[in-house]
Amino acid sequence: MTRRWVLALPACLLLAGCDDRLEQFGGPTMGSSYSVKYVRGASGPAVEQARGEVEGILAEVDLQMSTYRADSVVERFNALPAGSCMALPAQMLELVRFAGELSRESGGAFDITLEPLLNLWGFGPQSRGDQVPGGEAIAAVMADVGQGHLRMRGQELCKDAAVQLDFNSIAAGYAVDRVTARLGELGVTSALVEITGELKAFGRKPDGTPWRIAIEAPRDDRQVAQKIIPLDGLGVSTSGDYRNYFEKGGKRYSHTLDPKTGAPTSHALAEVTVVDESALRADGLSTLLLVLGPDRGLAYAESHGISAFFVTRAGDGFVTRESRRFRELFER
User: H-type helices in the chain, by residue range?
Assistant: 11-14, 47-65, 73-78, 90-105, 115-121, 135-142, 171-185, 279-292, 294-303, 324-330
3-class secondary structure, 193: strand
- Say how far residue 217 (Cα) sits from the centre of its chain: 17
pLDDT tens digits along 288-326:
999 999 999 999 999 999 999 999 999 888 899 999 999
- Partners of residue 36 on adjacent β-strands: 25, 193
User: Phi and psi of 258, rounded to 5°?
Assistant: -90, 115
- Distance (Å, whole) CA 236 – CA 195: 11
User: Phi and psi of 225, rounded to 5°?
Assistant: -75, 125
> Could you give all domains of the chain from N- to C-terminal order, each with its CATH number?
73-159 (1.10.3980.10)
Mean pLDDT of the chain: 90
- Distance (Å, whole) CA 205 – CA 212: 10
- Partners of residue 252 on adjacent β-strands: 247
Looking only at the bridges linking them, the beta strands covering 156-159 and 85-87 are antiparallel
| More confidently predicted of 326 and 130 | 326
Q: Assign 219 a pLDDT band (cuts: 50, 70, 90).
A: low
Q: Assign 220 a pLDDT band (cuts: 50, 70, 90).
A: low
Please choose, from the candidates 185, 75, 86, 158, the residue with its C-alpha nearest in 3D space to the C-alpha of residue 119.
75
Per-residue DSSP letter, 231? E
Average pLDDT over residues 43-58: 96
pLDDT tens digits along 247-284:
887 788 888 999 999 999 989 999 999 999 999 999 99
Per-residue DSSP letter, 331? -
Which are the contacts of 270, defined by CB distance < 8 A and separation ≥ 6?
218, 240, 241, 242, 311, 312, 313, 318
- Distance (Å, whole) CA 198 – CA 5: 8
What confidence score (pLDDT) does residue 5 get? 45
Q: Does pLDDT of 13 surpass 60?
A: no
Report the share of the chain in percent with pLDDT over 90. Answer: 75
**Surface-to-core class of residue 134, CB atoms within 10 Å of its CB (0-12 exposed, 13-18 middle, 19+ buried):** exposed
pLDDT tens digits along 138-178:
999 999 999 999 999 999 999 999 999 999 999 999 999 99
Handedness of CA 4, 188, 227, 326 (dihedral sign): positive
What confidence score (pLDDT) does residue 14 get? 40
What confidence score (pLDDT) does residue 15 get? 40
Longest dimension (CA), the chain: 63
Q: Are 176 and 235 in contact (CB under 8 A)?
A: yes
What confidence score (pLDDT) does residue 113 get? 97
Q: Are 100 and 113 in contact (CB under 8 A)?
A: no
